[in-house]
Amino acid sequence: MNAAQPGPDGLIDGYLTMLRIREFELAAIRAHGEKLVHGTLHPYIGQEAIATGMCAHLRQDDLMLSTHRGHGHCIAKGAPLAPMMSELFGRENGLCGGKGGSMHVADFSVGMLGANGVVGANIVLAAGAAHEVKRRGEDRVVVCFFGDGAVNRGPFLEGLNWAQVFDLPVIFVCEDNQHSASTRTSTMTGGEGGGARARSIGLTTIDVDGNSLPDMLAAGKEAVSIVRSGQGPVFIHARTFRVTGHTATDLAQWRDTEEVERHAAADPLPLLRARILSEGHREDELLAEERRVRTDVQLAYDKALASALPPATRAFEDVQVTGNPQIGAF
Amino acid sequence: MTNLIAMTAAEASTLALREEFALDENVWALGEDIGRGGVFGQYAGLQDEFGPQRVVDTPISEAAILGVAVGAAMVGSRPVVEMRFSDFALCAMDEMINQAAKARYMFGGQSKVPIVVREPTGLWRSAAAQHSQSLEAWYAHMPGLIVVCPSTPADIRGLLKASIRADDPVVFMEPKGQWQRTGEVDLDDQEPYELGKAAGRREGDDVTIVSWSTQVHVALEAAERLAEQSIESDVIDLRTIFPWDKDSVSQSVRRTGRLLVVHEAVAVGGFGGEIASWISEHEFHHLKGPVARLGAPRIPVGYAPNLEDQIRVTAENIVDRVIRMINEGEEETQV
Ligand SMILES: Cc1ncc(C[n+]2csc(CCOP(=O)(O)OP(=O)(O)O)c2C)c(N)n1
């Protein structure tokens, strides 16, 4: 259940992490259809290489902040599948005890400081986490994922500028899937987007094919080495494409079908698999590993299904330390 | 003449916009994804009909969306601002509170800000803590703002029209769970409804129940059950939270002698407190017992359905509370 490791076997480990994310998402979407997962679910399908390539270089004590589309980030940072799935099912043993759900998955024990329901809000929080890491003189790294739509929010400017002037150990990863909900982001973004804006503020920027695991592994490695050695914040612009609708139920029929199909056909997972085999890896071994991933996901699903709902009184816990409400009080 | 047609709240919204767009070319709308109809279909077809200059898609830039509307309103237009979820309007609070709400006063009446800030509000199928809030009391607290909380398709149409024509900034909070609920709308009555005027939803002499938004429907369900026990409720849908219809509530309370205020928002600091306090001060001698209120406990909205349910004030809660009011009259409200 570990996240991908860098090193000579980076590709295989990375591929298996990507598969873990993909299978988790497919199971979560199925469960959403079965009304086991509630609310809104934003699939990470097609973007797996970005979280995987980035998080492969992180230590468990490094920190990460995520978005509404956060399952992949959470898995890549090393969160266990079963408590994640339980959270999506709203069960007692979920990562957040069933209080957060898909848009608020978090596992502070592996440095995953939360998915976020407010676009762009995590950018300033990431600057804050990095500010504290630096203030303490630690060598931890903070990674902040967000979408291409988030670069048009004020906190993007404020957070990047802050990170730059305080020279903070933070990597901003813009996952440019070209869409924000039912809008083509390019139609709403002036200039050349996030990368150009980051450069204008003075950040080191890296532009990368976010659908290529080798490229993402290289970009992640470079960014982490810059940031961990105290050379300030880095901005990664990772190019990808949202092959699904915005949510599990959104058909996004306004899109050009040909374009979507072309991108879906260039699915990074089978391409990477073929490459791994072409480099001489034994297929029977790979199949065994793949089976293990699928079993893990199925176990997570089964376990979530068998888990209890939180006792209703939990709704009254963890509101605040002083002045927490009495159970059942209006 | 009436021409009643059943339509959803989303359809009533597009109808109101279509009518107002046709009447006044200074009316336009802006917000994320509204060109494709908006998250709830409340703008469906309007961009095709009126073009992208009147129905403007925007970047994900809440502060700019609201700020641009304030600036445009200062130079003569009447923008309808879509905030998508009331929760995201929080990203534009300076524009709302320091700018829109205060411009008329600060500048000695030279300026007006006739904007409608639409903030779909309340619980919505496990949307959790950042997508479920009911924040109307915050706005009611701010001088300069009108706050509208409609509960039916007809009110969404009539009050949206009135809000567009109003010369003040209006926070217009549609209940998120009610967009697909149908109701009758009179196509021939194109007059806006009066802001600040409550609607009587049911008549009765035993207790006054004041509510708004989604909670009105729950109150009506409770009233139905109370009637089975021969307790007749006067159910008032406040519709506008500020200014609120003191006359309607007072008149009802003078008749029933009992008042319960119910809302989905957190009870502590909720607008129910204002109503309870005002009625206690001004109608004390008509009251047979303490004014009661019901609202959510002071907890964020949880994701798991059974945690989310802890927020809800149910018909059963209302029935129980009313029976206690009638039996005992003086039990204290726990807040
Ligand atoms: C401040 C704010 N505004 C609007 C929304 C509604 N919303 C949720 S996701 C989304 C699109 C985000 O696009 P992008 O940042 O590109 O991420 P993607 O969904 O493509 O991963 C929007 C507009 C929100 N959650 N927060």
B285 lies in some domain: yes
B22, B77, B24, B83: which is closest to B49 by C-alpha? Answer: B22
The confidence score (pLDDT) of residue B149 equals 98
**CA of B65 vs chain A CAs: smallest distance (Å):** 11
Q: Does A255 touch chain B (CB under 8 A)?
A: no
- Segment B75-81 shows an average pLDDT of 98
Q: Do A188 and B57 touch (CB under 8 A)?
A: yes
The confidence score (pLDDT) of residue B1 equals 77
Q: Do A100 and B129 touch (CB under 8 A)?
A: yes
CB contacts, 8 Å: B125 with chain A: 38-39
**Alpha carbon distance B111, A94 (integer Å):** 52
One domain, residues B114 and B207: no
| Residue in A39, A152, A314 nearest the CB of B126 | A39
The confidence score (pLDDT) of residue A327 equals 86
Nearest ligand 1 atom to alpha carbon A119: 26
Q: Does A184 touch chain B (CB under 8 A)?
A: no
Please tell me whether residue B230 adopts helix, strand or coil conformation: coil
- The owner of tokens 């006739």 is B114
Tell me the C-alpha to C-alpha distance, in Å, between residue A166 and each of A7, A169, B280.
Answer: 32, 9, 55
Q: Does A277 touch chain B (CB under 8 A)?
A: no
Residues A67, A113 contacting (CB under 8 angstroms): no
CA angle B7, B13, B14 (to 5 degrees): 90
**Alpha carbon distance A176, A197 (integer Å):** 14
- The owner of tokens 């129905």 is B55
User: What is the H or E stretch that residue B273 is in?
Assistant: helix B271-282
CA angle B318, B323, B326 (to 5 degrees): 125
| Number of compact structural domains in chain B | 2
A299 lies in some domain: yes
Q: Do B304 and A38 touch (CB under 8 A)?
A: yes
- The owner of tokens 């297929």 is A283
pLDDT in tens, A169-179: 999 999 999 99
A99 lies in some domain: yes
What separation in Å is there between the alpha carbon of A88 and the centre of ligand 1?
19
How many other C-beta atoms lie within 10 A of the C-beta of residue A165? 11
CB contacts, 8 Å: A99 with chain B: 128-129, 300, 302-304, 307
Please tell me whether residue B325 adopts helix, strand or coil conformation: helix
Tokens of residue B122, six digits? 């309340």
Nearest ligand 1 atom to alpha carbon A242: 20
pLDDT in tens, B218-262: 999 999 999 999 999 999 999 999 999 999 999 999 999 999 999
B126 lies in some domain: yes
User: In B, residues 90-119, which contact A (CB 8 Å cutoff)?
Assistant: 91
Mean pLDDT, chain B, integer: 96
**Which CATH number covers residue B203?**
3.40.50.920
One domain, residues B136 and B231: no
A93 lines ligand 1 (CB under 6 A): no
pLDDT in tens, B278-324: 999 999 999 999 999 999 999 999 999 999 999 999 999 999 999 99
One domain, residues B44 and B141: yes
**Alpha carbon distance A126, A148 (integer Å):** 17
B251, B258, B225, B247: which is closest to B327 by C-alpha? Answer: B258
Report residue B334's pLDDT band, with 50, 70 and 90 as the boundaries: very low
What separation in Å is there between the alpha carbon of A127 and the centre of ligand 1?
20
**Alpha carbon distance A75, A58 (integer Å):** 13
According to DSSP, residue B126 is labeled T
The confidence score (pLDDT) of residue A3 equals 52
pLDDT in tens, A122-145: 999 999 999 999 999 999 999 999
Please tell me whether residue A273 adopts helix, strand or coil conformation: helix
A323 lies in some domain: no
Write the CB contacts of A213 (distance below 8 Å, at least 6 apart in sequence): A11, A14, A15, A18, A49, A52, A53, A268, A272
Tokens of residue B139, six digits? 């706005």
Chain B: residue whose CA lies nearest to A117: B130
Q: Does B62 touch chain A (CB under 8 A)?
A: yes
Residue A295 phi/psi, 5° resolution?
Answer: -65, -40
pLDDT at B333 over 80: no
How many other C-beta atoms lie within 10 A of the C-beta of residue A160? 27
Report residue B196's pLDDT band, with 50, 70 and 90 as the boundaries: very high
Domain extent for A33: 8-303
| Number of compact structural domains in chain A | 1
**Which CATH number covers residue A238?**
3.40.50.970
One domain, residues B182 and B212: no
According to DSSP, residue A107 is labeled B
Chunk chain A into consecutive blocks of 10 residues (it has 330) and report each block's average pLDDT, rounded to whole numbers. Answer: 53 97 98 97 98 98 98 98 98 98 98 98 98 98 98 98 98 98 97 97 98 98 98 98 97 95 96 96 97 98 98 96 84
B300, B23, B321, B59: which is closest to A187 by C-alpha? Answer: B59
Q: Does B303 touch chain A (CB under 8 A)?
A: yes
pLDDT in tens, B5-47: 999 999 999 999 999 999 999 999 999 999 999 999 999 999 9
Task: From B152, B186, B220, give the residue that closes a domain.
Answer: B186
Q: Does B130 touch chain A (CB under 8 A)?
A: yes
| pTM: predicted TM-score of the whole model, two decimal places | 0.96
B194 lies in some domain: no
The confidence score (pLDDT) of residue A328 equals 73
Please tell me whether residue A63 adopts helix, strand or coil conformation: strand
- The owner of tokens 């099912």 is A89
pLDDT at B182 over 90: yes
Residues in chain B, how many?
335
The confidence score (pLDDT) of residue A2 equals 44
* Strands of the B146-148 sheet, one edge to the other: B55-57, B27-31, B78-82, B116-118, B170-172, B146-148, B240-242
How many other C-beta atoms lie within 10 A of the C-beta of residue B288? 15
pLDDT at B331 over 80: no
According to DSSP, residue B131 is labeled S
Residues B39, B180 contacting (CB under 8 angstroms): no
Task: From B160, B186, B212, give the residue that closes a domain.
Answer: B186
A102 lies in some domain: yes
A138 burial via Cβ count (<10 Å: 0-12, 13-18, 19+): exposed
A122 lies in some domain: yes
pLDDT in tens, A155-170: 999 999 999 999 999 9
One domain, residues B268 and B310: yes
**CA of B173 vs chain A CAs: smallest distance (Å):** 19
CA angle A307, A313, A317 (to 5 degrees): 100
Residues A173, A144 contacting (CB under 8 angstroms): yes
What separation in Å is there between the alpha carbon of A52 and the centre of ligand 1?
22
CA angle B206, B220, B300 (to 5 degrees): 110
One domain, residues B259 and B171: no
**Alpha carbon distance A99, B132 (integer Å):** 13
One domain, residues B263 and B318: yes
Share of chain A above pLDDT 70, in %: 97
- Segment B324-328 shows an average pLDDT of 92
B192 lies in some domain: no
A278 burial via Cβ count (<10 Å: 0-12, 13-18, 19+): exposed
A325 lies in some domain: no
Active site positions of B, annotated: 131
**Alpha carbon distance A127, A164 (integer Å):** 9
**Alpha carbon distance B214, B176 (integer Å):** 9
Tell me the C-alpha to C-alpha distance, in Å, between residue A274 and each of A15, B62, B93.
Answer: 11, 44, 52
Q: Does A100 touch chain B (CB under 8 A)?
A: yes
Task: From B135, B158, B186, give the residue that closes a domain.
Answer: B186
One domain, residues B158 and B258: no
Write the CB contacts of A108 (distance below 8 Å, at least 6 apart in sequence): none
One domain, residues B105 and B180: yes
Residue B330 phi/psi, 5° resolution?
Answer: -120, 15
One domain, residues B286 and B322: yes
- The owner of tokens 């009506």 is B220
**Alpha carbon distance A43, A67 (integer Å):** 11
Tokens of residue A20, six digits? 């873990």
Q: Do A329 and B297 touch (CB under 8 A)?
A: yes
Write the CB contacts of A151 (distance below 8 Å, at least 6 apart in sequence): A174, A189, A193, A194, A197
Tokens of residue B233, six digits? 């409720």
Nearest ligand 1 atom to alpha carbon A180: 13
Q: Do B333 and A330 touch (CB under 8 A)?
A: yes
Handedness of CA A68, A74, A75, A76 (dihedral sign): positive
**CA of B243 vs chain A CAs: smallest distance (Å):** 25
CA dihedral of B270, B274, B276, B278, whole degrees rounded to 10: 180
Domain extent for B16: 4-186
The confidence score (pLDDT) of residue B328 equals 77
Residues B119, B86 contacting (CB under 8 angstroms): yes
pLDDT in tens, B91-142: 999 999 999 999 999 999 999 999 999 999 999 989 999 999 999 999 999 9
